[in-house]
Structure 1
Amino acid sequence: MTTILLLRLTLRNFKGIDEFEFNLDGKHTKIFGANATGKTTIVDAFYWLLFGKDSQNRTDFQIKKLNPDGTVAQHMLEHEVEGVLQIDGIERTFRRVFAEKWTKKRGSVKKEFTGHETCYFVDEVPMKEVAYKAEVAQIIKEDIFRLITNPVHFNEQLKTEQRRALLLDICGDVTDQDVISSNEELKELPGYLNGRTIEQHRSIIEGQKRNLNKEIEKIPIRIDEVRRSMPDISQIDVNKIDTEISNLRDQIAEQENQLQQIRSGSAAIDIQNNIRHLEGKLLEITNRLKAGSVDLIAAQRKALADHQWEYDQLTQQIAQKRSQCQNNQRRIDAGKATAQTLRNRWSEVKAATFEHKHENEGSCPTCGQALPEDQLQEAFEKAEADFNRQRAQTLESIQMDGKASMKEVNELEASNETLLAEIETLTQQQSEKQAGIIFAKTELADLDDAMIDPKEDADYQAVQQQIVALQNQLKDIRTLEQESVANTQQMIASLRTEAAQLEQQRAQVTQANAVTARIAELEQQEARLAEEYEQLEYQVFLIENFIRTKVSMLEGRINSKFKYARFKLFETQINGGLKEVCETTYRGVPYSSGLNHAARINVGLDIVNTLSVHCGVTAPIFFDNAESVTKLIDTNSQMIPLVVSKEDATLRIENMEGVHA
């Protein structure tokens, strides 16, 4: 068990206290003072020294002394708290200093406020913040420190879940299997859990219940919506309607068959066949009358076509030869131009003379010495011979190219003379063919004029009169058919309208049946969902029964760890369900309602005692309004009650009897 005692606490410029030294020597000590004299400041200073927070767990509280208007009373002060602790008999000194930073900028005479800094010391050794916090944490963690130094912290600062978790940590939890084994009614629960914890399964069940409840609430609305869409069929006789619809369909089919027979009448077909037969006779008469003339006309047309084809062939040949002449002429012109260029070039080369200069001015190109006269003459003669040879070769090459060019020109000119002669012959033949075409056209026109017109033949006219008579008969029959078709179609339309009206009534019956079936389906769904909801409720009952059993088992363990405090871990709701709580009670009175301040302090001290044992550490206990507590329970921790005393305008300390060992 680690024992932490407060030996001395010194405050300088901390909140409203300019300087105060609090010597306790590890003893139980009361602090007296009227309201606003700084009792709570002592507690804030102790917490701030260790953790940088006040007693309310705030980091942004005001450390500096303020004027009535809220401004800082005095700048450039160091705000300091120093505490001497005895930890298992060893003294340790902790000091925290909060100060303003004033900096003189370059070129300025006055210093300017640029922020704050905090300095840390352990046993007079300066430390960084991280190292300082590590030193404090090595002694005790902040959350544990607050639990065992403030008797109301457990009940007033921790949330329900935190209090429950801490109590379970103290007394030790019981396993789910232990709870299930202790109650026969819970034997079905593991099958529902399917490997999940009670909390996990309860969360799932609650979600499923919410979803099911939403679905169940929607179904009556859906049923009402569906029911409103149901048509009134109370006056409809379904069997009678079906019989009438069937009769109307038979009548429609009969009328449609009659319409088909009218449209395919045999009298009209016979007349049409006779007309086609007579039209065939007209064709035979026409062919007979035109038989001789047609053959002559055909022969003449063939002759005209032959002449035209031959004329076109001659035209094509003439065009090809003229095109060839034009191409040859372009090549002739180009060849003559080339020959003239070569002649000019030949004359230039022929007129060229030899000119010789020594490249090195008579010196050897290797050693730079002057060459002898005979060597210079030899070099001159050699250069002149090379020049003459190259000129002769160039002249010969030009002469050969010129001859080749002129040869091609002469050949092309000879070819053009031949082509022009052929064009003249072909043109004469074309003129002859043109005369033949004119003659053939004249003969063809004479044959057309001599052809007999079939419409002037007596037999042709008699057959034509028979066709006209039959066409008039067919027109009369068609007029009668159209009237009959119109009457029949009107009858069919009337029957279909009547049938459609009956089918509309029949559709209402079908719709009503569908609505009834849908309502039945929704009602079945509602029953199924209600059954599922009841099953979930049963699982909730098992879970709550489990919690009751577990709580009953835990309460005994938990309450055995405390001398005065008792704990209520669940409460029964109006609907019979259980709600997890963590209410501290003393002699049956809840901490949060009805328990007076003295009882709250003693119950809190009882909790601190148990927590100190559980955590293996004791520390000074501060609590306010101690004047209302006439008797404190025994505790192993150093007690520092804060007492409101109107007579004490300034803080006063008083050692209580006994020394905390």
Structure 2
Amino acid sequence: MKNIKLLKMHIQNFKGCKDREISFGEKTAIGGVNASGKTTVFDAFTWLLFGKDSLGKSSFDIRPRDKAGNMINNVEISVEATICFGEDEYVLKKVQKQIWRKKRGTNITEFQGNVNEFEINGYPKSEKEFKEFVHAEIDENIFNLITNSNAFNALPWKEQREVLMKFVGNFSNVEIAQQFGERFQKLVPELKIASTDDIFKKYTKAKNTLNKDMVEIPARIDEISKQLVTADVGALEVEKAAKEVALKKVEDEITGGADKLETINELRKQVMDKKIALSEIQNTANEQLAKERMDSRVKFDEVQKVFFAVQDQMKQLERERTEYIYERDRSEREKDRLLEEWKKVKKCEFAEYVAPAPYVEPEPLKESDLICPTCGQDLPEEVKQKRIADYEAKCRRERDAYEAGCEALKKKYEKDKEDFQTKKDQDLKRITEAGQKAADAVRANQKLIDERTNVLESLRSKFDASKAEYDSMKQAFDTIPAVADVSENPAYVKTKEEIVAIEKQIEELSKESSGKAELEAKKAVLKDEITEIEAKIKAADNTKVNGRIAELEEEQKAVGQKIAEQEQMIDLTEDFIRVKMDQISNAINDKFQIVSFRLFEDQINGGLKETCECTVNGVPFSSLNNGHRIIAGLDIIRSLSELYGVSAPVFIDNSEAVNTENFPEMDAQMIHLVVTDDKELKVESEDK
């Protein structure tokens, strides 16, 4: 891993910092009251490297201001930093100067803008050269993510997902689907050419179009049913037969069969009666068939309604069961993770007390200490006594100070141990409660799974029975013709044969007659009238209308089957997305020690919605206090540094919100920005 470390920084006239040089260690604390310039240090560092503040804004004021809030002109702003990029040490410097030019013909100077100058190890560089050097060492976006504990969670959720997906590599949807054998085999051809989002949109759109057709078909059937003609075909047949008798009579007169006219008329009357009988046979059969078809249709509609209701109920239960299985498994993983965390915390013990070194008595007074160094004679008695008294007082003070220090150290140890134990007990309690909550969730979801499974099992026989009844009724309904077939009816066949025989007899009796012109005109009128009646009879034939209704009913059945196919693909796609996201979520969350990410959420309609939400022990990042947000951010930085193979100085604003012992172990330089009572910035650094 490439380590980037900030060793030293010299800031001049940058915002509120007039002139300050700061040395940084492995751990550096920069303390001061609010608005004392802690964040200014971070802003100066990012301005030097990227020309932006610590929040990523390129438009911000860096020029110092006076007490009245006015910008101070004619001063150079400079930031110089000594930075280690891996094994190499560089001194980077950036200076901003103002350009003032005298207005022509006057003594007035005008501000013309700012110019930035750059140096690397004392060598002047152009802005392009400086930027290329920095970019070669560290990408700006990566730098922002691994130096600022708030940076990642400030990104839009889609960008967060893009970063997290880099943890799992570039596995295609097809590769993931093929891991599950036959389960998603039907989906693989689609996944080869489209994303899951496009597949879902495709089949949802198709389903919506088909649903629209399913709604429209009954209306179309109803509209066509209005075309069914209810004319009295029997009466029309009687009228037609009468006209035909009259026509035959005229024809007989034309052919001169007057002597046999009475016989012919009687035969014509017999033909008319027999045709009326044929019509009655057909009408009776049609009425019986229509009643049979209507009864079958009513029964079929009821069976279909029950079958579709059971089918929809089972689909809903399957969706709910799948959702509860996912929630159960997620809670099971959370419970296992909490158990490991509990074991880890339980093993932590406070260090044993280490007593300070034994007290060392000061060296005793020597005889030379009681002799005048100038003349070599003994000091006056009162001076000797004063030196002896001072020596004894010093011994007492040092012993008292040692004993007081030992007592203070012992009390601090006991206080720190008590705080450690309190924190440990609190963490164990928190983890236990969270673990119990996760275990309760496992049991609750398992109960819901069992309930759905039992209901599904109980519905299975009902579904099978209703489907069998549906298929049977549909087949029975489809076998009923729209028009009765009387071609094999004995009475109908016999009557038809009798009509043919009588008409043949009439034809033999017919002969030419006089008054031919008048009879021809009458004959033409009768033919026209018969043609008109035949047209009415033909119009009363509902065969085509019933056939169209049957076609629409078949179309309705086909549309229903297609809707089921679209729903199957939608359900399969949602199942795949759930499995894929679950697999990806596990792979990603394994990369973090403290935080977890929820990458999708269930919708009310049973579908899935992509998201990206950071959580700590199930609590969303947005609901965490400032201290927990910092800890979560550091855990993210730690994992992102491993992902990108680079560590950089981590600036922690409001660091005082986190207890020292709660900071996670970081393989990076730590710079704590702490709110203290110091009115001037106070810098303390140490090496590990």
- TM-score bucket of the superposed structures, by smaller chain: 0.5 to 0.7
Match in the other structure for 1:306? none
**TM-score (norm: length of structure 2):** 0.52
Residue 136 of structure 1: how far off its partner (Å): 0.7
* 1:102 equivalent among 100, 103, 106: 100
Match in the other structure for 2:59? 60
Q: Distance in 2 between matches of 1:204 and 1:171?
A: 22
* 2:635 equivalent among 606, 609, 630: 606
Task: Confirm whether residue 652 of structure 1 aligns to residue 681 of structure 2.
Answer: yes
Q: Distance in 1 between matches of 2:86 and 2:243?
A: 111
Contact 1:245-1:502 at 8 Å conserved across structures: no
Structure 1 residues 626 and 545, CA gap change in structure 2 (3 angstroms): closer
Match in the other structure for 1:564? 594
Task: Confirm whether residue 40 of structure 1 aligns to residue 39 of structure 2.
Answer: yes
Contact 1:620-1:638 at 8 Å conserved across structures: yes
Contact 1:50-1:136 at 8 Å conserved across structures: yes
Residue 17 of structure 1: how far off its partner (Å): 1.4
> Counterparts in 2 of 1:74-93, with a 5 A limit?
74-88=72-86, 90-93=88-91
Task: Confirm whether residue 229 of structure 1 aligns to residue 223 of structure 2.
Answer: yes
Residue 140 of structure 1: how far off its partner (Å): 1.3
Match in the other structure for 1:590? 619
Residue 580 of structure 1: how far off its partner (Å): 4.5
Deviations 1:268-292 (A, max 9, x none): xxxxxxxxxxxxxxxxxxxxxxxxx
Residue 148 of structure 1: how far off its partner (Å): 1.4
Match in the other structure for 1:219? 213
Letter aligned with residue 30 of structure 2: I
Contact 1:154-1:163 at 8 Å conserved across structures: yes
Structure 1 residues 143 and 499, CA gap change in structure 2 (3 angstroms): same
Q: List runs of 5+ in structure 2 lacking aligned partners.
A: 256-514
Match in the other structure for 1:31? 30
Deviations 1:570-606 (A, max 9, x none): 44444554444444333x2334244332222123222
SS of the equivalent of 2:640 reads helix
Structure 1 residues 50 and 247, CA gap change in structure 2 (3 angstroms): farther
Task: Confirm whether residue 620 of structure 1 aligns to residue 649 of structure 2.
Answer: yes
Contact 1:230-1:511 at 8 Å conserved across structures: no
Q: Distance in 2 between matches of 1:145 and 1:129?
A: 19
Q: Distance in 2 between matches of 1:139 and 1:238?
A: 97
* 2:671 equivalent among 640, 645, 650: 640
* 1:528 equivalent among 552, 561, 570: 561
> Counterparts in 2 of 1:99-498, with a 5 A limit?
99-104=97-102, 106-107=104-105, 109-157=107-155, 159-160=157-158, 162-170=159-167, 183=180, 186-190=181-185, 192-194=187-189, 196-197=191-192, 200-230=194-224, 232=226, 236=230, 240=234, 243=237
Contact 1:241-1:502 at 8 Å conserved across structures: no
Letter aligned with residue 556 of structure 2: E
**TM-score (norm: length of structure 1):** 0.54
Letter aligned with residue 81 of structure 2: G
SS of the equivalent of 1:56 reads coil
Structure 1 residues 36 and 497, CA gap change in structure 2 (3 angstroms): farther
Residue 110 of structure 1: how far off its partner (Å): 3.3
Q: Distance in 1 between matches of 2:244 and 2:44?
A: 107
SS of the equivalent of 1:229 reads helix
Residue 131 of structure 1: how far off its partner (Å): 0.7
Structure 1 residues 633 and 204, CA gap change in structure 2 (3 angstroms): closer
Structure 1 residues 482 and 129, CA gap change in structure 2 (3 angstroms): farther
Residue 223 of structure 1: how far off its partner (Å): 2.0
Structure 1 residues 484 and 617, CA gap change in structure 2 (3 angstroms): same
Residue 215 of structure 1: how far off its partner (Å): 1.2
Match in the other structure for 2:4? 4
Residue 218 of structure 1: how far off its partner (Å): 1.1
SS of the equivalent of 1:32 reads strand
Contact 1:8-1:22 at 8 Å conserved across structures: yes
Structure 1 residues 25 and 33, CA gap change in structure 2 (3 angstroms): closer
Q: Distance in 2 between matches of 1:85 and 1:537?
A: 55
Contact 1:252-1:496 at 8 Å conserved across structures: no
Structure 1 residues 242 and 132, CA gap change in structure 2 (3 angstroms): farther
Deviations 1:209-248 (A, max 9, x none): 2222221231134225414533546771575377469659
Structure 1 residues 244 and 504, CA gap change in structure 2 (3 angstroms): farther
Residue 540 of structure 1: how far off its partner (Å): 1.7
Q: List runs of 5+ in structure 1 lacking aligned partners.
A: 262-479
Structure 1 residues 30 and 18, CA gap change in structure 2 (3 angstroms): closer
Letter aligned with residue 525 of structure 1: A
SS of the equivalent of 1:54 reads coil
Q: Name the Cα RMSD after superposition.
A: 4.3
Contact 1:252-1:495 at 8 Å conserved across structures: no
* 1:547 equivalent among 563, 569, 580: 580
Residue 481 of structure 1: how far off its partner (Å): 11
Aligned identity (percent) is 28
Contact 1:31-1:652 at 8 Å conserved across structures: yes
Structure 1 residues 248 and 613, CA gap change in structure 2 (3 angstroms): farther
Structure 1 residues 523 and 114, CA gap change in structure 2 (3 angstroms): same
Letter aligned with residue 207 of structure 1: K
Q: Distance in 2 between matches of 1:235 and 1:196?
A: 53
Residue 487 of structure 1: how far off its partner (Å): 7.7
Q: Distance in 1 between matches of 2:226 and 2:175?
A: 64
Letter aligned with residue 4 of structure 1: I
SS of the equivalent of 1:187 reads helix
Worse overlay, 532-541 or 166-175: 166-175
SS of the equivalent of 2:61 reads coil
Letter aligned with residue 169 of structure 1: K
Contact 2:102-2:108 at 8 Å conserved across structures: yes
Residue 8 of structure 1: how far off its partner (Å): 2.9
Q: Which structure is larger by alpha-carbon Rg, 1 or 2?
A: 1
Contact 2:225-2:549 at 8 Å conserved across structures: no
Q: Distance in 1 between matches of 2:48 and 2:543?
A: 86
Letter aligned with residue 687 of structure 2: V
SS of the equivalent of 1:640 reads strand
Deviations 1:526-547 (A, max 9, x none): 2132232133135325514641
Q: Distance in 1 between matches of 2:183 and 2:19?
A: 67
Contact 1:98-1:118 at 8 Å conserved across structures: yes
Contact 2:150-2:633 at 8 Å conserved across structures: yes
Number of equivalences: 427
Q: Distance in 2 between matches of 1:246 and 1:118?
A: 110
Letter aligned with residue 31 of structure 1: I
Residue 252 of structure 1: how far off its partner (Å): 11
Q: Distance in 1 between matches of 2:672 and 2:250?
A: 113
* 2:552 equivalent among 519, 527, 535: 519
Match in the other structure for 2:259? none
Q: Distance in 1 between matches of 2:217 and 2:47?
A: 67
